[in-house]
Amino acid sequence: MPIETRHLEDSQTLVISVEGRFDFSTHQAFRDAYEHSDNPVEYYVIDLSETTYLDSSALGMLLLLRDYAGGDSARISIENCNSDVRRILAISNFEQLFAIR
């Protein structure tokens, strides 16, 4: 599975990991990952340690998640990006909307 989800022990944090290419082909799986969560989620962690590539439709999906999680009050961090992925996020200045670690 290119997209995997797990809850941390506190059960309020949902970790979504994306493996391989994060692009339009993962659109539905990514949506399902956060829309079908059983517990109420306070924090989202997008783990991109296994992500090799990210395109603009993935940026769009991140914005959709941000809207879903409350827009400006959303608490989302994007973690473990490789340098290519980080570059795309930087060009789009997504650090203004997400915590990128």
Partner 1 sequence: MDPSIADQRPLRILIADDSDSDRLILKTLVKRLGHDVFDARDGEEAVRLFEEAQPDIVLLDALMPVMDGMEAARRIKALAGERLVPLIFLTSLSEAGDLARCLDAGGDDFLSKPYNRVLLEAKINAFNRMRRMHDTLSGQRDHIRELNQQLLREQEIAKRVFDNVAHTGCLDAFNIRYLASPLSVFNGDVLFASPRPAGGMLIFVGDFTGHGLPAAIGAMPLAEIFYGMAAKGFSAKDVLREINRKLKQILPTGMFCCGAMIEAVFHENQLWFWNGGLPDAQLIRANGDNVALPSRHLPLGILSPDQFNADLERVTTEPGDSLMLMTDGVLESSNRAGEVFGDAGVARALETRKQGLHPFDAVIGSLREFTGSHQDSDDITLFCVDMVDDAAITPLPDRTTLPGPAEWHCEYELRERTLGDFNPLPLLLHICMEVPGLRSRSGEIYTVLAELYNNALEHGILELPSDWKHSPEGFGKYYRERQVRLGRVDGHFIRFSLSHSMKPYGGRLRVVCEDSGSGFDFKNHPVSTAKNTPAGPLSDNPVIGTSYAGRGLMLLRQLSESLSFHGRGNRIEIVYDWDYSDAPLDHNKNDRH
What is the contact surface with partner 1 in residues (CB under 8 A)?
24, 56-57, 59-61, 63-64, 67, 90-94, 96-97
Q: How far is the CB of 96 from partner 1 (least distance, A)?
A: 6
Q: How far is the CB of 19 from partner 1 (least distance, A)?
A: 20
Residue (23 or 79) nearer to partner 1, CB: 23
Residue (36 or 96) nearer to partner 1, CB: 96
Residue (14 or 62) nearer to partner 1, CB: 62
Q: How far is the CB of 9 from partner 1 (least distance, A)?
A: 31
Return all residues near 7 (Cβ < 8 A) that are at least 6 apart: 13, 14, 15, 37, 39
Report d(CA 82, CA 65) in Å as an integer. 21
Are the CB atoms for 39 and 13 separated by under 8 Å? no
Q: Estimate the crossing angle of helix 56-68 against helix 27-35, to 10 degrees.
A: 20
